């Protein structure tokens, strides 16, 4: 059974944020062998935080770039 981990919200300017322990990031990077470059958020009745690893971001960026190039070529 998964146990929730409670983190406090901190003020960041006019926004709120959470911090993650460095060890959590390092552990995820060691397990996957990839660097975390961003966090993806799914927001509904709860907020789910998922790491975005280096290669995933590159693939998504290439897909977005290809879609832009295709749209421009069609004009």
Q: Are 40 and 50 in contact (CB under 8 A)?
A: yes
Going from N- to C-terminal start, the domains of the chain cover: 10-74
d(CA 10, CA 29): 25
> Above pLDDT 90, what percent of the chain?
60
Helix (H) or strand (E) holding 50: strand 47-53
Q: Is 31 left (phi over 0), alpha (psi -120 to 50) or beta?
A: alpha
7-36: per-residue pLDDT in tens? 999 999 999 999 999 999 999 999 999 999
Query: What is the rounded average pLDDT of the residues 52-74?
Result: 64
Considering just the CA atoms, what is the radius of gyration of the chain in Å? 17
Query: What is the rounded average pLDDT of the residues 56-74?
Result: 59
């Amino acid at each position: 059974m998964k146990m929730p981990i409670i983190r406090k919200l901190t003020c960041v300017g006019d926004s709120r944020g959470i911090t993650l322990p460095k060890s959590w990031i390092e552990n995820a990077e060691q397990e996957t062998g990839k660097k975390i470059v961003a966090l993806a958020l799914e927001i509904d009745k709860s907020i789910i935080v998922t790491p975005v690893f280096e290669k995933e971001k590159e693939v998504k960026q290439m897909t977005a770039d290809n879609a832009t190039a295709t749209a421009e070529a069609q004009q």
